[in-house]
Copies of this chain bind each other. A is one copy, B any other.
Amino acid sequence: MKAGMFVKPGRVVVTDAPMPVIEKPSDAVIRILRACVCGSDLWWYRGISKREQGSLTGHEAIGIVEEVGDEVTHIRPGDFVIVPFTHGCGKCAACRAGFDGNCMNQEPGGNAGYQGEYLRFTNADWALIRIPGKPGDYSDDTLNSLLALSDVMATGYHAVASAEVKEGDTAVVMGDGAVGLCGVIAAKLRGAERIIAMSRHADRQRLARQFGATDIVPERGADAVKHVMDMTDGDGADSVLECVGTQESTATALQIVRPGAVVGRVGVPHGKEIDTTKLFWNNNGLRGGAASVTTYDKNILLKAVLDGRIKPGRVFTKRFDLDHIQQAYEAMDQREAIKSLIIVSEA
């Protein structure tokens, strides 16, 4: 079968990989329909973080269940499913508390290779999210929104959950990548009244406004801090979503947050340390990490997509087939696409 494979920084190819098989009774094998490239993939694509040469790529998909192990009873072959990057067992203390991104019973393997024709998926029974009906029942746009529920939309939602965004809040979203834009969607879904998107790119500003941003702040650093503080009469924001992960972005987030409020961060941290003593003197919280994809999808996001209340699939602004996976990465690396969609199979 065909699958995307990492060769070296800047180079991803389609390779002929062995067909995955059920290895554990808790596994499923999924036939992938749509996959995509994640902003976090750019860290290794750009050579900033390490990745094993020859490893299969991708961690977001929707697909059809091909086969399940003996212990998988809630999901059946033929089911149309969201294939999250997380693999929660649904039973451990972390999953029970709603943090399936930190499942304590994760199996080795099964966390990569979603950009391929077939995938072995671990902890399939609880982690996979069944979508009603068949792919053919949905529009192309809705399929893309369902795909977004495998990571990026759930990650945006994790930012608002971590930042404790609530009805009436003034929320600031740091980062105008696909996650930040989904953070805007999530802030609106939670009832934020004012949503300030930090964005300096016209196409992303436009999408942020479509998703519910009420204000755009194009500055960075000290100028951005001044702009947001002026907009909030010196109070700072009720909640800040940190969807970048750099030192500068995190530092800015901590300067624009109201006393007592929380910075919810989902940008993988690539900076140095944060002055947590300052957090103390301002009573600010710092929280976040890997999204609880299955929890959020089952509790709120799948229904919101099916009801048409949220349309996170709009973050896919370029489309590729699997054979053009290199171009899919290049488009994101060059900021030509907000997020690259990869059509693996049309049905």
Interface window among A192-200, A269-277, A305-313? A269-277
User: A259-294 vs B: 1/0 string, CB under 8 Å?
Assistant: 111100100110001111101111111111110000
Q: With the chains together, A64 CA to B93 CA distance in Å? A: 50
- Closest B residue to A273 by beta carbon equals B273
As for how many copies of this chain the complex holds, the number is 2
Are B280 and A235 interface neighbours, CB within 8 A? no
Q: Which chain B residues lie closer than 8 Å to A162 at the CB level? A: 285
Contact B282 A93 (CB under 8 A): no
Contact with B along A98-127 (1 / 0, CB 8 A): 110110100000000000000000000000
* Shortest CB distance A115–B (Å): 24
Neighbouring B residues of A234 by C-beta, 8 Å: 104
In the complex, the answer to whether A276 meets B277 with C-beta atoms within 8 Å is: no
- Report yes or no: B282 in contact with A288, Cβ–Cβ below 8 A: no
Contacts of A282 in B (CB 8 A): 102, 289
Which residues of B sit under 8 angstroms from A235, Cβ to Cβ? Answer: 92-94, 104
> Which residues of B sit under 8 angstroms from A276, Cβ to Cβ?
269, 273-274, 276, 286
Is A238 an interface residue, CB under 8 A from the partner? yes
A260 and B104 contact, CB distance less than 8 A: no
A204 at the interface (CB under 8 A from B): no
Which partner residue on chain B sits nearest A290 by CB separation? Answer: B283
CA distance A274 to B269 in the complex (A): 14
Q: Which of A215-263 contact B (CB under 8 A)?
A: 232, 234-236, 238, 258-262
A93 touches B275 (CB 8 A): no
State whether A288 touches B283 (Cβ < 8 A).
Answer: yes
Taking a contact as CB atoms closer than 8 A, the residue among B232, B260, B287 that contacts A262 in the complex is B287
Question: Smallest CB-CB separation from A279: which chain B residue?
Answer: B286
Q: How far is the CA of A274 from the CA of B277 in the complex (A)?
A: 9
Does A48 make an interface contact (CB < 8 A)? no
Asked if residues A268 and B289 are in contact (CB atoms below 8 Å), the reply is no
Asked whether any CB of chain B lies closer than 8 Å to the CB of A97, the reply is yes
**Complex: A285 Cα to B101 Cα, angstroms:** 15
Nearest CB on B from A294, distance (A): 14
Q: Give the docked Cα–Cα distance between A289 and B162 (Å).
A: 18
Instruction: Return A279 CB to nearest CB of chain B, in Å.
Output: 7
- The smallest beta-carbon distance between A249 and chain B, in angstroms, is 14
Chain B proximity of A290: nearest CB distance (Å) = 6
Is B286 a contact of A99 with CB atoms below 8 Å?
A: no
A288: contacting residue among B92, B97, B236, B280, CB under 8 A: B280
Chain A residues proximal to chain B, CB less than 8 Å: 92-94, 97-99, 101-102, 104, 162, 232, 234-236, 238, 258-262, 265, 268-269, 273-277, 279-290
List 26 contacting pairs A-B, 8 Å CB cutoff, sorted by A: A93-B235, A93-B236, A93-B258, A97-B238, A97-B258, A98-B260, A101-B283, A102-B259, A104-B234, A162-B285, A260-B289, A262-B287, A269-B276, A269-B280, A273-B273, A276-B276, A276-B286, A279-B289, A280-B288, A280-B289, A282-B289, A283-B287, A283-B289, A283-B290, A285-B285, A286-B287
Given contacts A262-B287, A273-B274, A285-B287, 9 further A-B contacts (CB under 8 A): A92-B235, A93-B235, A93-B259, A94-B283, A97-B260, A99-B259, A104-B235, A274-B276, A283-B290
